[in-house]
Chain A
């Protein structure tokens, strides 16, 4: 017991403030920025983009397909694409993820009735449907003492019967389609679905797979899209809390009025 206490004191308090006070590291690839006016249609980026996330004239980047690699940024001679360190990029509609140089329309809070139900207590069930385990590791991380999403009343539960909604990862493989449909049906109404990661939003690198679908939205209706490959735990938390109306427009936490 003495040893446990001693280690506890040495470990100290490790939970991060939310939103975080420290800036992300220099090389962190957050929300991409596109500058259509700088683009001269040379097509170098579309040739190298691994998931065909970029279309030209005008330059548009589909954040739902983007795997946040370096290819477009390092190939572009006019610097029409670059990464910012912004963590916040979750959207409520699939079309809002098309970046065309205008400001990204972030997810809005749920309608008042649903928000009233969920904003202080949201129980979620995760269904992995062809994900590589990357998104799973970050979803596990949001529950650890560092990110600790449970301080906001959000928890991951063991059964869809206990859940208010689903988190789906992966492109939804043919072999997982039935399991996802059944799990979705097992959640009581009203329910929400959150697609986490490029695969769950669009199929990502597996868009052209012969044995997978094109993301969660091809099987069940999706209420929140959290882009990334995988998204940073803070990005996931930001998306969920914004949907619950717990984050104001300037990115700060707000005490709910509901």
Chain B
């Protein structure tokens, strides 16, 4: 059955004509079969309208253990098809998105609620004598993005948490099509402002793939260094936020400052604390000068040493660990069923890291060891971050010593016609997927983004189930998902 799907490589071009168009039952059954019996999962599932009318649905599946990506499409007859979700839970949000974006209805979908609309929707509610409901947001108490959370509680116990988003909806995907190239780069960097490098890189790989161009090894190394700096800075910030939420204030303050050390390295390299304007299709805009290499080595070593000291202080404190352990558990099976990715998936024991499974750019030359835990609780999500901080620092130190003398930028003139590229980057939060298509004139005619948060918000809902409502801030920080990345 799997031979119906075409094999795809991360960030490599595929002709639109080479994508198999299956009949809808075969397409649907193949997805279910590959995900259930062959260790596959949905990387992206989207639809668009064909020129002559009618919708075409595309599915991109990933088989992590083999490092293979598969793609196939189907044409929807009429305006509905038999929903996949009943057989494969991880499709639930993708199918709702397809319905909301292009109006094709997955018939029999268990709960076809809006994905990014702020009104006209009734929340799930429980009834009973002592049941009460807590509504939070969109404007929150902290400085965070807007989203709405509905808790159905009995005393402190949470029976159900429902997360409703869409407040950050800016329409990035549509704007990516009409915008000029320099604006596209800025839009990609603004999908999620905490993942500037990861989203920027996913966009650059997509355009380079469509232009069938490679960048120099020096550019690849600089890109990887900045991606790992972004990872360390955000992980350190998250450790601080978790420390703050358990009331361990020394670690909270120190991590806040240590995070800035890594942001300031990005500032030295790119002129911006989040690395904006570094990446462009064809290479990078800023080089790492020889005197910077030594400075970076020194500051990274010092920064990581401070982070390790503070993390050890935190992990050696029994009351901190007691608060983190067994809070907000997402089991291995749950994580697999809902298709979780990134840090949260690895904390539940899944070996999912796009740098290892679907390597592109510099990661083709360097095998990454996946950091994972098995308990699936807040502790595991904290611990995975800590391990990754150390591993990323080692990687940067290694890369700084391996920079070939080359140009860092070659412009990309034209994109191939009628082609598709799927570009996957493992950002600090998890895998970011950009899928781009060109039309017969070589212009970008379709753009689809999947943020790791799109997979993982459901994980946060599950983590709270039967927990205490007071566990919510801690669970939320341990996932630290993006609202803007989900809402697009």
A residues neighboring B (CB under 8 Å): 3-4, 7-8, 10-11, 14, 25-29, 47-51, 67-71, 74, 83, 125-141, 144-146, 156, 158-160, 170-171, 173-176, 178-179, 183, 205-206, 208-212, 229-230, 232
Contact = CB atoms under 8 A, between A and B. Distances in A.
Q: Which of A136, A139, A205, A211 has the most CB of B within 10 A?
A: A205
A70 B175 contact: no
Contact of A173 (B169, B179, B194, B316): B169
A43 to B, nearest CB: 13
B446 interface: no
A229 B256 CA distance: 21
Contacts, number: 178
B257 A11 contact: yes
15 contacts: A11-B310, A25-B264, A28-B271, A51-B183, A67-B186, A69-B185, A126-B143, A127-B139, A129-B167, A131-B168, A133-B484, A158-B141, A170-B168, A205-B187, A209-B171
A145 B253 contact: yes
B190 A132 contact: yes
Interface in B417-467: none
Interface in B181-196: 182-183, 185-187, 190-194, 196
Q: Which of B169, B192, B193, B256 has the most CB of A within 10 A?
A: B193
Interface stretch (B14-22, B35-43, B273-281): B273-281
Given A7-B310, A68-B272, A68-B276, A48 B484 contact: no
Interface residues of B, number: 60
A50 B180 contact: yes
B149 interface: no
Contacts of A71: 182
Given A146-B260, A159-B141, A173-B168, A27 B175 contact: no
A179 to B, nearest CB: 5
Contacts of A4: 250, 313
Interface of B: 116-118, 138-139, 141-146, 166-171, 174-175, 179-180, 182-183, 185-187, 190-194, 196, 237, 250, 253-254, 256-257, 260, 264, 267-274, 276-277, 285-286, 306, 309-310, 313, 316, 482-484
A14 B257 contact: yes
A47 B118 CA distance: 36
B142 A158 contact: yes
Please give me the 3 A-B residue pairs with the lowest Cβ-Cβ distance, nearest first: A134-B193, A132-B193, A144-B256
A8 B309 CA distance: 10
Contacts of A174: 169
B118 A175 contact: yes
A175 B169 contact: yes
B193 A230 contact: yes
Nearest to A127: B139
A105 B264 CA distance: 29
Given A29-B271, A171-B170, A50 B185 contact: yes
Contact of A175 (B117, B180, B237, B310): B117
A130 B168 CA distance: 4
A131 B169 CA distance: 10
Contacts of A208: 175
B169 A211 contact: yes
A212 B171 CA distance: 8
Contact of A156 (B143, B191, B256): B143
Contacts of A130: 167-170, 484
A135 B144 CA distance: 10
A146 B193 contact: no
Given A68-B276, A70-B285, A139 B143 contact: yes
Q: Which of B142, B171, B269, B309 has the most CB of A within 10 A?
A: B171
A130 to B, nearest CB: 5
Contact of B190 (A14, A129, A134, A137): A134
B483 A133 contact: yes
B145 A128 contact: yes
A209 B277 CA distance: 21
Contacts of B171: 206, 209-212
B174 A11 contact: no
B267 A28 contact: yes
Contacts of A67: 186, 276
Contacts of B166: 175
Nearest to A24: B267
B170 A128 contact: no
A102 to B, nearest CB: 25
A83 B192 CA distance: 25
Q: Which of A3, A10, A67, A69 has the most CB of B within 10 A?
A: A69
A206 B170 contact: yes
Q: Which of A7, A26, A29, A138 has the most CB of B within 10 A?
A: A7
Contacts of B190: 132, 134, 205-206
A209 B484 contact: no
Contact of A133 (B193, B267, B272): B193
Q: Which of A128, A139, A145, A156 has the most CB of B within 10 A?
A: A128
B141 A131 contact: no
Contacts of A209: 170-171, 175
Given A126-B143, A128-B144, A183-B139, A27 B271 contact: yes
Contacts of A229: 272, 276
A207 to B, nearest CB: 10
A171 B267 CA distance: 25
A49 B193 contact: no
A136 B276 CA distance: 16
A62 to B, nearest CB: 15
Contacts of A25: 264, 267-268, 271
